[in-house]
């Protein structure tokens, strides 16, 4: 366990706020005159969704979807031996709202290997939405295993394990206002 003072700030809160406001403005422009449904991926996207949604001046609904990843330990690191290539991601909570013919924005904290969002894209598309876009606060393209891109990306970051602003390590640090790098070796 690390003390908060041991964490190095990678993206400070004011930079996050500025970028989230830009993303909200972009979504507002892209969907002018339309309604949208934000679908947040539990639990990491909760803080990002609540800030982003307040920067979008459109008619909007909130929803949440839950997943658990095989091959990833409780501290979010990949387990030795890699991913289970057959059933790597499992749904733990489906959406509550009907998505058919709606504009859906899937909101995720970080796009890493891409396995989670590739799976969720398929789940949402089965609901036959009008449009499906992905908003990811962070992107670690160097770790990608599936060819997926987000439509809205906050920050592209190097291959470091980050916490704060919703992101956790073994369920801790989600409430840090800044995005910080966790020292390796815990
Ligand atoms: P993917 O399926 O590898 O793209 O995994 C995305 C999920 O892994 C995210 O929703 C996070 O829960 C977790 N994750 C990946 N990288 C990090 C990180 O640096 N910090 C915290 N969680 C991470
Ligand atoms: Mg997550």
Residues 79-136 pLDDT 10s: 544 444 444 789 999 999 999 999 999 999 999 999 999 999 999 999 999 999 999 9
Which of 65-79, 81-95, 143-157 tops mean pLDDT? 143-157
Q: Are 28 and 57 in contact (CB under 8 A)?
A: yes
Q: What is residue 163's three-state secondary structure? A: strand
Q: What is the pLDDT of residues 29-70, one digit of tens each?
A: 999 999 999 999 999 999 999 999 999 999 999 999 999 887
63 is catalytic: no
Residues with CB under 6 A from ligand 1: 41, 44, 76, 108-117, 161-163, 167
What's the rounded Cα separation, in Å, for the pair 120 and 136? 13
Nearest CA to ligand 1 atom 17: 161
- Please report the DSSP string for 89-142 in residue order: EEEEE--SS--TTSEEEEEEEEESSSHHHHHHHHHHHTT--SEEEEEEEEE-GG
Average pLDDT for residues 11-35, to the nearest whole number? 98
The distance of Cα 99 from the centroid of its chain, to the nearest Å, equals 19
Ligand 1 nearest-atom number relative to CA 89 = 2
What's the rounded Cα separation, in Å, for the pair 133 and 154? 14
Provide the whole-model pTM.
Answer: 0.92
Nearest CA to ligand 1 atom 9: 110
Q: Are 140 and 159 in contact (CB under 8 A)?
A: yes
């Amino acid at each position: 366990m690390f003390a908060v003072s041991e964490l190095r700030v990678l993206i400070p809160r004011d930079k996050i706020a500025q970028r989230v406001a830009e993303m909200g403005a972009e979504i507002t422009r892209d969907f002018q005159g339309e309604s949208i449904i934000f679908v947040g991926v539990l639990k990491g996207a909760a803080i990002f969704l609540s800030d982003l949604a307040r920067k979008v001046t459109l008619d909007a609904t909130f929803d949440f979807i839950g997943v658990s990843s095989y091959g990833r330990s409780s501290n979010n690191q990949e387990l030795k031996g890699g991913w289970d290539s057959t059933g790597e991601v499992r749904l733990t909570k489906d959406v509550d709202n009907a998505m058919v013919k709606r504009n859906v924005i899937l909101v995720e904290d970080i796009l890493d290997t891409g396995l989670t969002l590739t799976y969720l894209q398929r789940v949402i598309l089965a609901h036959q939405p009008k449009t499906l876009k992905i908003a990811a606060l962070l992107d670690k393209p160097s770790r990608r295993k599936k060819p997926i891109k987000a439509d809205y990306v906050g920050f592209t970051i190097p291959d470091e394990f980050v916490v704060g602003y919703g992101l956790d390590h073994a369920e801790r640090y989600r409430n840090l206002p800044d995005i910080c790098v966790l020292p390796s070796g815990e």
